[in-house]
């Protein structure tokens, strides 16, 4: 070949390469002919456990081309449990409560130690005994159940929990509740049946003594579901109690965060997600939703920055609502577009209940026998807990460093009567309660500083009949809308932070077209005697229902 012909051939090949190389690359990146595929946009509303979990699960999927943005009205991620609050003097950082991680939080433990690789003993306390107080003083002690002889669940808790004043005859009156726990299997049918009645009414009908209810069950419901038993669904109470107390003998063993949860857990988690491309928009409130014309789909979201008032509009291929009951209610009431749709209209039935978190800094050390304590009998219909923060965090932890005496957290649930008080009135009341429980050392100590955090309607309220209004993982009305959080229906069986985290993964799985339980650690199977009780309950209802357990009467039908 002559030099001229060779040169011409080279130019032809070079020209062809300019066309074919981008074409072949586009095939490898999109799997089809045409230009590079445009990333899909997922907007997550809410930066609590559910929202962060959904963003985390989507951003970890390297094979899916998604851009994830998390919007939250607060200045820092974390939702209700975030930190970033200040004491009344402005000198100390505080957070909304002290945060625990129970034995059944398998998915959150996997996040902390397998995914984020956080140092175990630096972020969580060791297991410890817990106390229960009333105005009379110490009432009960919960041991470290994993340190006791292993017994069938229920029996172990009954034998090893030390009630100091509650008579054995009153404790024995609770045994008929075994019938309800045997029948309530967390199924849709069980939820619908037991959600019709309150937990207090169920206990009364089953013959639980008033004293046993008032001193054992009511404090558990007030601190676990944040409302008195007369105002809580029996389904929610049975589900919560089984998860936290009865699933296994060790279910109630708990470890506490050794510092402000924002610094210890949320900051490294958010940093990892930012490294995976997740964008965070704090101090941003969602004020509107714009549909695709003629379709039941959200096309964009209108936001406002709460700091400077600037507005922005974000396109969205999918939207995850990861907010609580009160926020869902508010979105519907302020959005004519959302109010058109049945599964959003029912959110107007949902509501929240209030939390008051206080942290008192003393000039002297106040001895406490137990670092974590539940309380009852101080304010009617109000739940209460208190924590010795120095014992949990350590004397040199940033949250307590430089404080000469004790730092005690006292939190109240269903606290509407308290959050209306001014700071001085709240501090005085909290101090008087500690004086009753802890005696002269508390009376002799002075409050140097205090943090008061009011969260009106801040936590979900599982009132009787609320289940019908709760969202499912995927909207039935809007094709690109999903939900995450502990108000969302889920068959996983978990509660509180663990449930919020799990539903975030479930929402991500639905968005990505995966199996619903992919990447989720299931709860351990029921213990044999529990399973046997449930089989017997089903068989009995099947017998009465002519071979169909669904048509047979439940315990609720017999009692009412």
d(CA 477, CA 24): 40
Do 380 and 486 meet the contact criterion of CB atoms below 8 Å apart? no
CATH number of the domain encompassing residue 307: 3.50.50.60
Report pLDDT digits (tens) over 372-382. Answer: 999 999 999 99
In terms of DSSP H, where are the helices of 340-460?
342-345, 389-393, 416-419, 423-438, 440-443
Residues 142 and 249 in one domain: yes
Residues, the chain = 560
Q: Are residues 308 and 411 in the same domain?
A: no
Residue 445: domain span: 83-99+352-460
Q: Mark whether 365 and 291 lie in a shared domain.
A: no
* pLDDT, tens digit (0-9, with 9 covering 90-100), for 39-62: 899 999 999 999 999 999 999 876
What stretches of 244-368 show up as alpha helix (H) in DSSP? 261, 267-275, 325-334, 342-345
In DSSP notation, 198-209 reads: BHHHHHHHTT--
Q: Are strands 279-281 and 66-71 parallel, antiparallel or unpaired?
A: parallel
Measured CA distances, 497 to 29, 224, 513 (Å): 38, 12, 24
Can you give the pLDDT at residue 80?
63
The residue written with tokens 């993964």 in the block is 505
Helix residue spans in 243-324 (DSSP H): 261, 267-275
Task: Give the model confidence (pLDDT) of 289-319 as tens digits.
Answer: 999 998 999 999 999 999 899 999 999 999 9
Report the C-alpha gap between 268 and 249 in whole angstroms.
32
The CA distance from 51 to 322, in Å, is: 5
How buried is 291 (Cβ within 10 angstroms: 0-12 exposed, 13-18 middle, 19+ buried)?
Answer: middle
Residues 381, 314 share a domain: no
Burial 206-231 (b: 16+ CB within 10 A, else e): bebbeebbbbbbbbbbbbbbbbbbeb
Specify if 336 maps to a domain: yes
Give me the mean pLDDT over the 432-446 stretch: 97
Residues 386, 396 within the same domain: yes
- What is the spatial distance between Cα 168 and Cα 174, in angstroms, rounded to a whole number? 10
Average confidence score pLDDT of the chain: 91
Has residue 31 been placed in a domain? Answer: no
- Quick check: 469 and 463 in contact, CB under 8 A? no
Task: Give the pLDDT of residue 22.
Answer: 38
The predicted-structure confidence for 488-540, as pLDDT tens digits, reads as follows 999 999 999 999 999 999 999 999 999 999 999 999 999 999 999 999 999 99
**Are residues 47 and 138 part of one domain?**
no
Is residue 311 assigned to a domain? yes
237 in the same domain as 287: no
Contact status, residue 145 vs residue 156, Cβ threshold 8 Å: yes
* Average pLDDT estimate for 533-559: 92
Q: Domain check: are 356 and 454 in the same one?
A: yes
The average pLDDT across 135-163 equals 96
Q: Which pLDDT belongs to residue 95?
A: 84
Q: Is residue 123 part of a domain?
A: no
Please compute Rg for the chain using Cα positions: 27
Q: Is there a domain that residue 493 lies in? A: yes
| Whole-number pLDDT of residue 20 | 38
Provide the whole-model pTM: 0.91
CA angle, 351 then 356 then 357, to 5°: 130
Least confident range from 23-27, 58-62, 407-411: namely 23-27
Same domain, 183 and 214: yes
What count of Cα atoms within 13 Å lies in the side-chain half-sphere of residue 320? 38
Percent of the chain with pLDDT over 70: 92
Please list, in sequence order, all residues whose beta carbon lies within 8 angstroms of the beta carbon of residue 191, skipping any fewer than 6 positions away.
Answer: 235, 239, 467
Whether residue 180 sits in one domain with residue 139:
yes
How far is the C-alpha of 144 from the C-alpha of 83, rounded, in Å?
29
Among 436, 460, 484, the domain-final residue is 460
Q: Which of 416, 435, 460 is the last residue of a domain?
A: 460
Q: What pLDDT band is residue 83 in, cutting at 50, 70 and 90?
A: low
Cα separation of 74 and 286, whole Å?
12
Which residue reads 């807990």 in tokens? Answer: 385
67-99: burial string, b at 16+ Cβ within 10 Å, e else: bbbbbbbbebbbbbbbbbbebbeeebbbbbbbb
pLDDT on residue 63: 65
Q: Are 205 and 559 in contact (CB under 8 A)?
A: yes
95 and 243 both lie in a single domain: no
Estimate to the nearest angstrom the gap between the alpha carbon of 117 and the chain centroid: 21
Quick check: is 34 in a domain?
Answer: no
Mean pLDDT (whole number) for 254-268: 93
As a whole number of angstroms, the distance between CA 53 and CA 59 comes to 10
- State the pLDDT confidence band at 75, using cuts at 50, 70 and 90: confident
Whether residues 477 and 508 share a domain: the answer is yes
When divided into structural domains, the chain yields a total of 3
């Amino acid at each position: 070949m002559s030099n001229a012909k060779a040169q011409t051939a080279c130019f032809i090949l070079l020209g062809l390469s300019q066309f074919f190389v981008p074409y072949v690359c586009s095939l490898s990146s999109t799997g089809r002919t045409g230009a590079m595929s445009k990333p899909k946009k997922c907007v997550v509303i809410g930066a609590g456990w559910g929202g962060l979990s959904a963003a985390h699960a989507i951003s970890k999927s390297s094979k899916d081309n998604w851009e994830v943005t998390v919007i939250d009205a607060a200045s820092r991620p974390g939702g209700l449990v975030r930190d970033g609050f200040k004491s009344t003097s402005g000198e100390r950082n505080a957070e909304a409560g002290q945060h625990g991680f129970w034995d059944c939080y398998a998915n959150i433990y996997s996040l902390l130690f397998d995914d984020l690789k956080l140092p175990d003993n630096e972020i969580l306390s060791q297991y410890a005994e817990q106390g229960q107080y009333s105005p009379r003083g110490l009432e009960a002690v919960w041991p470290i159940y994993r340190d006791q002889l292993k017994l069938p669940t229920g029996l172990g808790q009954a034998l090893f929990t030390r009630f100091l004043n509650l008579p054995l005859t009153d404790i024995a009156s609770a045994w008929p509740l075994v019938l309800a726990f045997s029948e309530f299997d967390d199924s849709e049918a069980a939820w619908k049946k037991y959600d019709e009645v309150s937990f207090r009414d169920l206990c009364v009908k089953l013959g639980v003594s008033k004293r046993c209810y008032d001193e054992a069950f009511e404090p558990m419901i007030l601190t676990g579901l944040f409302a008195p038993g007369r105002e809580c669904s029996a389904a929610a109470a049975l589900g919560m109690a089984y998860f936290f107390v009865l699933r296994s003998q060790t279910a109630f063993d708990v470890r506490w965060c050794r510092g402000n949860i924002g610094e210890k857990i949320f900051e490294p988690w958010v940093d990892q997600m930012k490294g995976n491309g997740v964008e965070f928009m704090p101090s941003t409130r969602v004020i509107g939703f714009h549909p695709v014309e003629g379709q039941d789909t959200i096309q964009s979201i209108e936001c406002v920055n709460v700091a400077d008032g600037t507005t922005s509009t974000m396109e969205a291929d999918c939207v995850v609502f990861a907010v609580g009951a009160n926020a869902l209610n508010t979105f519907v009431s302020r959005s004519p577009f959302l109010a058109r749709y049945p599964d959003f209209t029912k959110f107007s039935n949902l509501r929240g209940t209030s939390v008051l978190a206080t942290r008192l800094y003393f000039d002297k050390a106040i001895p406490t026998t137990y670092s974590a304590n539940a309380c009852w009998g101080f304010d009617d219909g109000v739940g209460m807990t208190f924590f010795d923060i120095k014992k949990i965090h350590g004397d040199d932890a940033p949250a307590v460093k430089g404080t000469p005496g004790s730092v005690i957290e006292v939190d109240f649930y269903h606290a509407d009567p308290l959050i209306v008080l001014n700071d001085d009135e709240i501090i005085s009341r909290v101090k008087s309660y500690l004086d009753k429980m802890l005696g002269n050392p508390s009376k002799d100590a002075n409050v140097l500083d205090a943090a008061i955090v009011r969260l009106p309607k801040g936590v979900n309220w599982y009132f009787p009949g609320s289940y019908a209004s709760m969202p499912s993982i995927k909207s039935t009305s809007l094709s690109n809308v999903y939900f995450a959080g502990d108000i969302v229906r889920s068959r996983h069986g978990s509660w509180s932070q663990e449930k919020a985290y799990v539903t975030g993964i479930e929402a991500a799985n639905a968005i990505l077209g995966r199996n619903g339980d992919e990447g989720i650690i299931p709860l351990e199977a029921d213990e044999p005697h529990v399973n046997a009780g449930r089989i017997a309950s089903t068989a009995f209802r099947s017998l009465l229902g002519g071979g169909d357990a669904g048509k047979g009467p439940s315990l609720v039908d017999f009692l009412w």
